[in-house]
Amino acid sequence: MSQENQKLLIDVGSTYFKISTLDSIEQHFRDFNKDILDDLMNKCGDTVSRFQKDDIYICSSANGGLSALIIGVTNSFSLKYATNIAFNSGINIIDTILYQNIEDYSVPSDIIDVVIIVGGVNSHGGLFSGALYSYLSQLNYSNIVFVGSEQDAPAISKEIEKVVVLPNIIDDRLHIVEQHLKEYLTNLYQQDIEGKEDIKHLYSITANQIFSTPYIVNRALPYISQKFPVADPFILLDIGGATTDIHYSKDLVEDNLTTENEYDRLVFKRLGVYKSRQSLILAAQGNEFVYELLTHLKVTEKIFIDQNEKATRILMQLAIFLVLCKTSHYGQAYVNLKLLSVNSIVFTGGITKVLAIEDIETIIAFFYRKILSSGHRPVAILDSNYDIWTLGAKV
């Protein structure tokens, strides 16, 4: 047996964890009264103890990512570029602020994990002043980073305590420079995962770095055809307990920023079927097509109150519909995907254990007919054995 075959892969989610060896895959609901490590050892101690620390690989999606607030000077450049980089680093954007109107924005009451300040090419300066500092003095945040004009960096460093200054994300031709901010945000996300007490304990069984699950999934995408007959271009939906992630190839975006990675990712934070069930229902009730969809599925809105397997199944179907809506022209989200060009839709995550392929196909058909007025039907592919995650963990 080759070394690669002897790996044990563990994924810790918000709702359940799964462990995979060469020949088996197990999934267990988490017991939230227990520490993750205890819970894990309790349920799969035998399997875990068969492996060396070097051969155990763990990833976690348990915390749903970091929150960010972005302050920039224009919509077309600074805010757009920072938003793109933040999304690609797995960050959830709470709000974007157009600096010239900063006095008109209300100050969020939640603690923001990271504030990003951006604006100006390096040959321009003096873009920020007192209004920025007085806004920040009212804001609660854990980290703050400046990625604007290098001429403004000294003043920013002087006025804002603990600000991290990185190279400008806008170059001299007004193009995007991703690398430094992306690295910073990815590291923050990573530190956040590792900083969780629960996760720290897991280092007693692994000698490898613990990564975030979306990072692992994204890493698998270029190799996906090794496992599935996927026709390009495709999108991948990871519908989980607390969040829904959508990964898509760059060709599906109209407004193409030239960045180095092929696949982007977008997180819908409160769109999960277990932990964020209530907000999923709220989102569904706010969608004008959902009642028609419920009728199509032969259920009534009573399903929102039910707490049985059937209700979970319907909610998962709604989650698919809502995500597709959000990324279409109808949704007005950050991206507008060319859904009519999509040839395959790959599904992964908890959803694959609950829905059958027909349950998914009917939603896809309904979405394309109702929202896009089209007979186009991308092929649905179900990753029911967590092959994508296994692939990403092995890369």
Partner 1 sequence: MKVITGVVGNDIHVVANRLIDLSLRARGYEVFNLGVNTHLEEFFDAAVETGAEVLMISSLNGEAEGWGREVKLLKSRYRTLDDLLMMIGGNLVVGSGRTEDIVARYKNYGFDIVCHQVDLNTGLDMLAELLQERGLQ
Residues that bind partner 1 (CB under 8 A): 73-78, 100, 119-121, 123-125, 170, 173-174
Q: For partner 1, give the closer residue by CB, 149 or 213.
A: 149
Q: Tokens 């300066």 appear where? A: 125
Q: Counting Cβ atoms within 10 Å, is residue 85 exposed (0-12), middle (13-18) or buried (19+)?
A: buried
Give the C-alpha separation, 25 to 11, whole Å: 11
Give the C-alpha separation, 62 to 59, whole Å: 9
> Can you say whether residue 227 is alpha, beta or left, with left for phi > 0 and alpha for psi between -120 and 50 degrees?
alpha
The answer to whether 303 and 284 have CB atoms below 8 angstroms apart is no
Residue 100 Cβ vs partner 1, minimum distance, rounded to whole Å: 5
For residue 203, what are its two tokens? 């280092």
Q: For partner 1, give the closer residue by CB, 68 or 170.
A: 170
For residue 354, what are its two tokens? 């609950």
Residue 125 Cβ vs partner 1, minimum distance, rounded to whole Å: 8
Q: What are phi and psi of 35, to 5 degrees?
A: -65, 145
Q: For partner 1, give the closer residue by CB, 75 or 285.
A: 75
Give the C-alpha separation, 145 to 148, whole Å: 9
What's the one-letter identity of residue 337?
L
Residue 10 Cβ vs partner 1, minimum distance, rounded to whole Å: 45
Give the C-alpha separation, 360 to 324, whole Å: 12
Residue 332 Cβ vs partner 1, minimum distance, rounded to whole Å: 17
Q: For partner 1, give the closer residue by CB, 122 or 261.
A: 122
Residue 69 Cβ vs partner 1, minimum distance, rounded to whole Å: 20
The answer to whether 152 and 71 have CB atoms below 8 angstroms apart is no
> Which of these, 1, 7, 31, lies nearest to 216 by C-alpha position?
7
Q: For partner 1, give the closer residue by CB, 106 or 123.
A: 123
Q: For partner 1, give the closer residue by CB, 53 or 329.
A: 329
Residue 126 Cβ vs partner 1, minimum distance, rounded to whole Å: 8
The answer to whether 168 and 177 have CB atoms below 8 angstroms apart is yes
Residue 162 Cβ vs partner 1, minimum distance, rounded to whole Å: 26
Q: For partner 1, give the closer residue by CB, 77 or 367.
A: 77
Residue 104 Cβ vs partner 1, minimum distance, rounded to whole Å: 12
Give the C-alpha separation, 37 to 40, whole Å: 5
Q: For partner 1, give the closer residue by CB, 21 or 168.
A: 168
Task: Tell me how far apart the terminal alpha carbons of the chain are, to the nearest angstrom.
Answer: 18
